[in-house]
Structure 1
Amino acid sequence: MNYNQLKLDIIEYSKTIGIDKIGFTTARTFDTLKNRLLQQQALNYQSGFEEPDINKRVNPALLIDQPRSIISIALAYPSKMKVRVVSKKGERRGIFCRASWGTDYHVVLRDRLKKLEDYILSKVPDAALKSMVDTGELSDRAVAQRAGIGWSGKNCAIITPEFGSYVYLAEMITNLPFEPDEPMEDRCGECNKCVDVCPTGALIQGGQINAQRCIAFLTQTKGFLPDEFRDKLGNRLYGCDTCQTVCPENKGKDFHIHAEMEPDPEIAKPLLKPLLRISNKEFKEKFGHVSGSWRGKKPIQRNALIALAHYKDESAVNEMIAVLTEDPRPVLRGTAAWALGKIGVEKGRQALEAAKEKERDEEVLAEIDKGMKFFLESEGS
């Protein structure tokens, strides 16, 4: 088998199935990554969504027998909406990050990987292959960096010269001995914009992130959002793009290559108030196909309440009172109480006072007290 020719054939085929960039690397262990992951673990900087076994994250030999190489792929996604919707008084909108625009990228990339697998197997029927997207054991970024897809930026994203960091990544481990590509030289240089502007200081230094402070992670949690992050959330419902939008390498980068990734503005930037009363069925029908729905509607609704408080949207007070008094979920009741205090209208105060008499959940009562405190502070100022 001429593996150099096969590699060229795979590269050519990848272009026909909607893969924007492809790279090859060895299947040796990711020793540098292991040290970094151990440090992250020791500092409690992990999100908890990762594969817990660090050895599996860095050693392809634990995932398939006798791996020889890894193929890394990248697909570019849009950074701008072709059709824009505007958030205005009384009709405030939240925002899903760009990585949750269009069809769930896991679905899109798995489709590309399946086609690539089928092609390789048509050439080498007994090839051993294992593909993964995001939730697999390996680090997509570590593989992409070593395969020459791009360099690992200070914002902890892979940055490509062609598409900036607006790329989805996936990889395939194989037992085929492909010639590895050269890693790309780091081009961040002295630039530190992403670290400097991170809303919560989650980027500790170039290339190191405390996921526990990252807004992208925090928007996906299901409990009460810690107080220190609520005012930082803005109108974000899922994810955060700040470290991407400020990156000079992303300036002017906006690619509309894949129809599946085109955002529906009413989904990517939805009205906030209807989210407070959306049913499970309605949520699944409207948002179920996007990656930002994977945790269900509860985190999105909690974030919507915080976003409405951010806007001080008085037109949402009645909906918030309904959540405070009727919702069975303590996190939603409590967040509504806090939000009513932030908005600060008299009707909200009365609702908080009434709710305090009936509420039995200690955490919700604490949030009601926070809401009441906002009124006391405004009276004292």
Structure 2
Amino acid sequence: MSIQLLQQELVAYAHEIGIDKIGFTTAASFPDLKTRLYTQQKLGFASGFEESDIELRTTPIKLLPNATSIIAIAVAYPSKMKERVVGKKGARRGIFCRASWGIDYHTALRERLAKLEVWLKEKVPEVDILSMVDTGALVDRAVAERAGIGWSGKNCSIITHEFGSYVYLGELVTNIPFVPDEPIEEACGDCTLCLDVCPTGALVNPGQLDAQRCIAFLTQTKGVMPMEFRKHIGNRLYGCDTCQTVCPKNKGKVNWMHEEFTPDPELAKPLLEPLLHMTNREFKDKFGHVSGSWRGKKPIQRNALIALANFKEESAVPAIIDVLHNDPRPEIRATAAYALGEIPNDKVALQNALLKEQEDMVLHEIKLALGEEL
């Protein structure tokens, strides 16, 4: 079978198994990306979640020595819920970003890539393959851009004409010399909406992100949230969609195509107060299948406290006091102290906690909440 025919049949099969876009590029290195990554590293803009070895991230043959091609895939996910729930006073809700709606996309894409691997091995038994989704060494967006999946937007997302930027990405490195696709021409034009509305100014330039200021990153950290970002968190529990929701290229892109990504509103926008005392088992049982659970319950509970503070939700004060006095984790107690300082109450609980608390970070937040430390 010729390479061209194999490629045509592979594209057809990919669509059969729920892959919405597929593209091909060479396994050549990514020199421009390498320069940008070293710059990001030098500026301190990296998140720390990425592969630390930039050579591995930009040189496919370091991952598969006989690689000649990379197959890029994209699977669309929904931007709207079919059923909505609305929070209200006394029953405030947080929100997970759209990329955490439905089943964990790592699972969904790995299943699709595994099917592509099986198909290719049946057609070409001697094939070598290495597949990855998000947590692999290669930069998914760079591969997708070069393979013609979409263009790299000013918000650092891959934007497709068909589905906007609401797509999950993955790739498969192989020694089969497929015919590369042409990259798509950048179509952001003069628009700078994503840069203009980024709550923390994390988009420092078109296509340049300071991850340390990005709300999507900040919601995944486990320590005490820096003070300057707390108001900007709003009611976000995991991730941030602002730079996507304002993008004109996403207008009308609903993407209700894959049942596995259909969100359960009670999981996508859960009640905040019940999260505060959720056990590890309860958290895993309820949220373990969504991508937003990967860092465990601590960041989610911390963010829930900040959200209740931003709502100034007085009905949650007793639950927050219980967290301040009884939670074993100092980061969570510190955030509870902050929340009590933001929500109208008599501050007696803060004063009592001040007498028994021994952790400096918690004492600092208690004093701030009481107005004793500036």
Alignment TM-score > 0.5, same fold? yes
Aligned partners of 1:373, 1:161: CA distance in 2, in Å?
A: 52
Partner of 1:106: 106
2:305 alignment partner, SS class: helix
Point out 4+ residue stretches in structure 1 off by more than 3 angstroms: none
* CA drift at 1:65: 2.0
Question: What amino acid is the match of 1:37?
Answer: L
Residue 299 (structure 1) aligned with residue 299 (structure 2): yes
Aligned partners of 2:234, 2:225: CA distance in 1, in Å?
A: 13
* CA drift at 1:345: 1.2
Aligned partners of 1:277, 1:355: CA distance in 2, in Å?
A: 19
Aligned partners of 1:190, 1:104: CA distance in 2, in Å?
A: 35
Matches within 5 A, 1:126-275: 126-275=126-275
Partner of 1:339: 339
2:233 alignment partner, SS class: coil
* CA drift at 1:344: 2.3
Partner of 2:45: 45
> TM (normalized to structure 2)?
0.99
- Gaps of at least 5 residues in structure 1 are none
1:172 alignment partner, SS class: strand
Aligned partners of 1:334, 1:221: CA distance in 2, in Å?
A: 15
Aligned partners of 2:33, 2:264: CA distance in 1, in Å?
A: 37
Question: What amino acid is the match of 1:227?
Answer: M
Residue 363 (structure 1) aligned with residue 361 (structure 2): yes
Aligned partners of 2:261, 2:189: CA distance in 1, in Å?
A: 31
Question: What amino acid is the match of 1:2?
Answer: S
> TM (normalized to structure 1)?
0.97
Paired residue total: 374
Matches within 5 A, 1:317-332: 317-332=317-332
Q: Deviation string for 1:33-75 (max 9, x for gaps)?
A: 0000000000010000000000000001000121110000000
What RMSD in Å do the two structures reach over aligned CA positions? 1.0
Partner of 1:352: 350
How many percent identity over aligned positions? 64
Partner of 2:36: 36
* CA drift at 1:220: 0.3
1:373 alignment partner, SS class: coil
Q: Deviation string for 1:190-222 (max 9, x for gaps)?
A: 000000100000000110000000000000000
Question: What amino acid is the match of 2:257?
Answer: I
Aligned partners of 1:7, 1:372: CA distance in 2, in Å?
A: 66
Aligned partners of 1:369, 1:245: CA distance in 2, in Å?
A: 38
Aligned partners of 2:12, 2:98: CA distance in 1, in Å?
A: 28
Aligned partners of 2:342, 2:371: CA distance in 1, in Å?
A: 9
Aligned partners of 1:205, 1:193: CA distance in 2, in Å?
A: 12
2:102 alignment partner, SS class: coil
Aligned partners of 1:153, 1:73: CA distance in 2, in Å?
A: 18
Aligned partners of 2:36, 2:344: CA distance in 1, in Å?
A: 46
Matches within 5 A, 1:71-82: 71-82=71-82
Q: Deviation string for 1:254-309 (max 9, x for gaps)?
A: 11111111100000000000000111110000000000000000000000000000
Aligned partners of 1:166, 1:160: CA distance in 2, in Å?
A: 8
Question: What amino acid is the match of 1:169?
Answer: L
Aligned partners of 1:261, 1:116: CA distance in 2, in Å?
A: 20
Partner of 1:5: 5
* CA drift at 1:335: 0.4
Partner of 1:287: 287
Aligned partners of 1:34, 1:104: CA distance in 2, in Å?
A: 29
Question: What amino acid is the match of 1:114?
Answer: A
Aligned partners of 1:41, 1:15: CA distance in 2, in Å?
A: 37
Question: What amino acid is the match of 2:72?
Answer: S
Q: Deviation string for 1:153-173 (max 9, x for gaps)?
A: 000000000000000000000
Q: Deviation string for 1:118-173 (max 9, x for gaps)?
A: 11111001100000000000000000000000000000000000000000000000
Aligned partners of 1:62, 1:300: CA distance in 2, in Å?
A: 36
Aligned partners of 2:251, 2:75: CA distance in 1, in Å?
A: 18
Aligned partners of 1:65, 1:320: CA distance in 2, in Å?
A: 54
1:263 alignment partner, SS class: coil
Question: What amino acid is the match of 1:133?
Answer: V
Partner of 1:372: 370
* CA drift at 1:373: 1.6
Q: Deviation string for 1:11-35 (max 9, x for gaps)?
A: 0001110000000000000011000
Question: What amino acid is the match of 1:352?
Answer: L
Aligned partners of 1:156, 1:307: CA distance in 2, in Å?
A: 26
Aligned partners of 2:265, 2:60: CA distance in 1, in Å?
A: 40
Aligned partners of 1:373, 1:205: CA distance in 2, in Å?
A: 37
Partner of 1:14: 14
Aligned partners of 1:280, 1:144: CA distance in 2, in Å?
A: 36
